Amino acid sequence: MKTKVLAFIALAFGLLTMGIPLFAHHGDASYDTSKAVVLKGAVVTSYTWMNPHSLLKADYKDDKGVIQHWVMEIGSVPSMSLLGWSRTTVKPGDVITVYVWQVKNGLTVGRINKIVLADGTTLGDRDTATPSRYGTDEK
């Protein structure tokens, strides 16, 4: 009887443990994908090339002259490498234009749709041949 109870507890623990990674990944439901927010003249303050998502932090001065501190993510290192991104794509002090899907609660946090570097180079978070997960229109 003791062996059966211990086996059941071990099995239950094992099944619960295997399910944890399913909760670790998140979707894009928290972002407002109806239109991208455009941060023209944003100044990069930090760029961290890491998995599962690289982070770009930038300061942006809004129409009223108030500086907003943005935190934005892009895809994984392997997928972004295929799209031309690298650990040296941007550096603190670079002035760029960012198109970002802002979180629905209005915080200055979001997912990058694309960036335009000072030299005019545009880098997106997906290949142009891949249909957008936000619909057929480029937003």
Per-residue pLDDT tens digits for 51-69 = 999 999 999 999 999 999 9
42, two tokens: 């944003």
Q: How many helices (H) and strands (E) does the chain have?
A: 2, 6
**End-to-end CA, the chain:** 63
* pLDDT higher than threshold 80 for residue 46: yes
The CB-side HSE value for 16 (13 A sphere, CA atoms) comes to: 6
Query: What pLDDT shows up at residue 55?
Result: 95
Which domains does the chain possess? 37-124 (2.40.50)
Q: pLDDT digit string (tens) for 2-42?
A: 777 666 676 666 655 555 444 455 667 889 988 899 999 99
